């Protein structure tokens, strides 16, 4: 063990008379640990929010939607789909759909819904993964079935097997008499996003076409891509290929406000990082200055027996590095434990009508742990330079007289 390491180890340990320095060192380590844990947890929550919202959006709405201009139905959709499959690369799935506003009635309970008819034989959505009760639309049966959200089911006071009446306005015009169809509630889904659970309902493509009087026409096509970053390019290719009246939009364009909200949540992260760095820096500087003050006579004695200024400076840099390293390790462990507990037991809940989910989401990324650890350790070491230089510049004659 070198001379600097030996002295630094003694300075880190408690003062034999008061134990004061030990308390200050521990307090500084706790400050670094809490700051590190807070930043890692914050980044994990932000990553969890982004992942959860994107998964749910892409579960209900695929990467690209090809719609009819101003909502007009698209005829001859089978040929258009085959053309896209043959000429556009990077597509993993494409399916027609019908989507339109409607009214749903169960007894005296009436509510507005957004009814989407999907081709169950070529279903590329992930609605089935959110099913809580009953079954998803049965591709083998030709019956009139409907799947609704849990919140809507509560409002209508219906359960699996109950009959509901859905009113649709054919072709979207006000001069047409609304058509009505009776559906059996086959399943109830729960996405955790109140807006979807309250409004969206799903049925088979043929039933929606019949209700809205579209014949063989559809509202558009859902498209899945192999690589999400290529969605904009693929959407423009589809638009060029199909032309008017087709209108291709990516999920980011359809839900621009939602993705802008996600980006907004990330903006406070640098501010939080700055505050944590300031706290950690002040902790390190304050702790080492207290050590310098407490050990002034000992520093003078070390210099009088031949210790160099560089050696004195290294002693306090080692102590600052120790505080930073232990604080970061403790902070990482604390952050991992708290994140794991939230992932497993979901202690903290959220109002789903505001945050689109019912619990605080967590996504652990090792790069967040590594990045935060490196930044905190480097800055703590840099902040150790100030008190270490102050100690190195002490005059041995003056310090030996210090009381």
Tokens 């509901």 correspond to 164
Element at 215 (helix H, strand E):
none
Q: How far is CA 44 from CA 51, 59, 183, in A?
A: 10, 22, 43
> What CA–CA distance (Å, rounded) separates 72 from 379?
60
Strand 131-134 and strand 179-189: the pairing is antiparallel
pLDDT at 101: 92
Mark whether 396 and 359 lie in a shared domain: yes
Q: Say whether both 198 and 67 belong to one domain.
A: yes
Q: Of 237, 254, 271, which residue constitutes the final position of a domain?
A: 254
Residue 21, pLDDT > 60, answer no
Copy the structure tokens of residue 13: 């340990």
The answer to whether 122 touches 82, Cβ cutoff 8 Å, is no
> Residue 1 pLDDT > 60, yes or no?
no
114: alpha, beta or left, given left = phi > 0 and alpha = psi -120 to 50? Answer: beta
Q: Which tokens hold the place of 128?
A: 């089935």
pLDDT at 399 over 60: no
Q: Which two tokens stand for residue 72?
A: 């007009």
Give the chain's domain count: 2
- Specify whether the CB–CB gap between 255 and 193 falls below 8 A: no
C-alpha 257 chain-centroid distance:
16
Domain end, chosen from 254, 284, 308, is at 254
Residues 75 and 200 in one domain: yes
Asked if residue 127 and residue 9 are part of one domain, the reply reads: no
Do 48 and 71 lie in one domain? The reply is no
**The predicted structure's pLDDT at residue 22:** 61
Q: Hey, what are 365's tokens? A: 């990324």
Residue 158 has pLDDT above 90, yes or no: yes
Write down which residue in 195, 223, 254 finishes a domain: 254
Tokens of 190: 């729960």
Extended strands (E) in 143-292:
145-149, 163-168, 179-189, 200-204, 220-225, 246-250
Q: Is the pLDDT of residue 19 over 50?
A: no
Does 230 lie in the same domain as 109? Answer: yes
DSSP codes joined into one string, 108-144: TEEEEEEEEEE-GGG----GGGGEEEE-PPPTT--S-
One domain, residues 182 and 313:
no
> 375-393, pLDDT tens digit by residue?
888 888 888 787 777 766 6
Q: Which pair of tokens denotes residue 375?
A: 């930044």
Give the per-residue pLDDT at 112: 92
Name the strand (E) or helix (H) holding 174. Answer: none
Q: Are residues 50 and 70 in the same domain?
A: no
**pLDDT tens-digit readout, 84-119:** 998 999 998 899 999 999 999 998 899 999 999 999
Domain co-membership, 306 together with 359: yes
138 and 217 in a single domain? The answer is yes
Distance CA 71, CA 337 (A): 50
**For the whole model, what pTM was predicted?**
0.72
Domain boundaries, position 34: 3-57+262-401
Same domain, 53 and 68: no
pLDDT tens-digit readout, 274-319: 777 777 777 777 777 776 766 666 666 666 666 666 777 777 788 7
Q: What is the predicted pLDDT for the residue at 346?
A: 84
240 and 120 share one domain: yes
Compute and round to an integer the Cα radius of gyration of the chain: 32
Cβ distance 283 to 326 under 8 Å?
Answer: no
Number of helices followed by number of strands (H, E) in the chain: 16, 10
């Amino acid at each position: 063990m070198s001379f600097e390491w030996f002295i630094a180890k003694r300075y880190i340990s408690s003062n034999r008379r008061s134990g004061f320095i030990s308390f200050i060192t521990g307090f500084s380590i706790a400050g670094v640990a809490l700051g590190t844990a807070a930043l890692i947890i914050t980044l994990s929550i932000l990553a969890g929010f982004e992942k959860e919202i994107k998964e749910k959006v892409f579960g209900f709405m695929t990467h690209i939607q090809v719609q009819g201009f101003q909502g007009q139905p698209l005829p001859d959709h089978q040929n258009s789909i085959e053309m896209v499959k043959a000429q556009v690369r990077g597509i993993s799935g494409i399916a027609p759909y019908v989507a339109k506003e409607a009214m749903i009635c169960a007894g005296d309970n009436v509510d507005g819904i957004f009814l989407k008819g999907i081709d169950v034989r070529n279903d590329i959505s992930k609605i089935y993964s959110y099913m809580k009760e009953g079954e998803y639309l049965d591709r083998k049966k030709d019956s009139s079935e409907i799947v609704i959200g849990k919140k809507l089911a509560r409002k209508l006071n219906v359960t699996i097997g109950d009959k509901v009446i859905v009113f649709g306005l054919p072709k979207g015009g006000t001069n047409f008499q609304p058509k009505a169809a009776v559906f059996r509630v086959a399943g109830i889904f729960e996405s955790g996003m109140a807006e979807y659970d309250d409004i969206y309902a799903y049925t088979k493509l043929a039933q929606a076409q019949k209700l809205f009087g579209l014949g063989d026409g559809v509202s558009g096509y859902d498209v899945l891509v192999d690589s999400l970053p290529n969605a904009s390019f693929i959407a423009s290719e589809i638009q060029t290929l199909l032309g008017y009246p087709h209108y291709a939009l990516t999920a980011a364009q359809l839900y621009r406000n939602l993705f802008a909200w996600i980006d907004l949540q990330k903006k406070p992260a640098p501010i939080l990082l700055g505050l944590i760095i300031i706290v950690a820096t002040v902790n390190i500087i304050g702790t080492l200055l207290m050590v310098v003050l407490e050990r002034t006579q000992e520093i003078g004695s070390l210099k009088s027996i031949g210790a160099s200024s560089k050696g004195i400076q290294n002693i306090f840099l080692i102590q600052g590095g120790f505080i930073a390293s232990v604080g970061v390790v403790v902070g990482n462990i604390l952050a991992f434990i708290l994140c794991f507990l939230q992932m497993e037991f979901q202690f903290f809940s959220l109002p789903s009508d505001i945050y689109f989910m019912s619990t605080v989401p967590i996504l652990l990324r090792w790069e967040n742990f590594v990045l935060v650890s490196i930044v905190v350790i480097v800055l703590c070491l840099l902040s150790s330079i100030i008190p270490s230089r102050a100690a190195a510049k002490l005059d041995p004659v003056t310090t030996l007289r210090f009381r």
